[in-house]
Amino acid sequence: MISVVVVDDHHLVRVGLRSILEAADEVEVVGEAADGGEALDVVRATTPDVVLMDLSMPRVDGVTGIRLLHEAGLDVPVVVLTSFAETDRVAAALAAGAVGYLLKDSEPRDVIAAIRSAAAGYAPLDPRVARTLLPGTSGREAPSVLSSREREVLSLVARGLANKQVAKALGISERTVKVHLGNVFRHIGVSDRTSAALWARDHGVG
C-alpha cells in the first residue's frame, strides 16, 4: 500500500481527494491537514509514503510547508496539487523540495499515477507545468532528454502498440524495448504506459 497525507485548506477538496485516491486498491489516505504547519504534525505522526500538497493556504502556505518538512528531516516525497501553473510558483515549490507538480483540473487517473510515480522515486510533472520550465520553446516538442530511439519507442507505445509489436516495427528485441521504455518512464517522470502516452500527446511525440 502507498500511504498518502492530503494537505488542502478546503474540507470538501480533501474529502474528494480521499475518495479518488482510495478508489485505487494500493493507495491509502492516512492523514489530512489544512495548511503547511498542520501538515508537519500529521506527517510526523503518520510517516506517509507521499504528501499531496496544495500551495495556496492560509496561515502556512504549501511552499513553506514543503520547506518545513525538509528542515525537520522528513524526506517524504511531496507532490503539489494546485490551480496555479505560473513559472514562479512552480519554481518556488520545486526549489523548496517538491518532487512533483499537478494542476487541480487533472484527471483522477493522472493524480493516482503521480502518487505511484512519486512513491517509486520519480518526479511527476503535469505536461502543462513542464512547459513553463522550458522558456523559449512551444512545449509541443519532446525535450532532448529523450534519445531518438526512446522517442521512437514512446511514439509507438502512444499509438497503442504492445512491446512485441514495437520490437517488430523497429527491428529490435522485446527486451531492448523494455529497457528503452523503462528509460523513458524515468526521464519523463511517469510509471505506466497510459501516463507515458498522455505525455507523448502533450509533447507532440507520435
Provide the pLDDT for residue 132. Answer: 66
Provide the pLDDT for residue 121. Answer: 87
CATH 3.40.50.2300 domain span(s) along the chain:
2-132
CA distance 152 to 6: 37
CA distance 182 to 151: 12
Instruction: Pull the grid cell for residue 123.
Output: 518526479
Give whole-number Cα distances, 37 to 49, 63, 78, 97, 163, in Å: 18, 11, 14, 16, 46
Provide the pLDDT for residue 160. Answer: 85
CATH 1.10.10.10 domain span(s) along the chain:
148-202
Sign of the C-alpha dihedral computed for residues 135, 137, 141 and 143 taken in this order: negative
The predicted model scores a pTM of: 0.66
Task: Report mean pLDDT in 10-residue bins for the chain, 206 residues.
Answer: 96 95 93 97 97 94 94 93 84 88 90 92 82 50 67 88 90 89 82 81 75
Provide the pLDDT for residue 111. Answer: 93
Distance, first Cα to last Cα, the chain: 34
Local structure of residue 120 (DSSP, 8 states): T
Provide the pLDDT for residue 133. Answer: 64
Provide the pLDDT for residue 145. Answer: 65
**3-class secondary structure, 28:** strand
Provide the pLDDT for residue 10. Answer: 95
1 touches 46 (CB < 8 A): no
Q: What is the dihedral of CA 5, 9, 12, 13, to 10 degrees?
A: -60
Provide the pLDDT for residue 206. Answer: 65
| Helix (H) / strand (E) containing 7 | strand 2-7
Give whole-number Cα distances, 136 to 8, 87, 148, 181, in Å: 33, 13, 21, 28
CA distance 109 to 185: 16
Q: For 105, what's the count of Cα atoms within 13 Å in the CB-facing half-sphere?
A: 6
CA distance 155 to 160: 9
Domain 2-132 has CATH 3.40.50.2300: yes
Q: Taking the domain 148-202, which CATH number applies?
A: 1.10.10.10
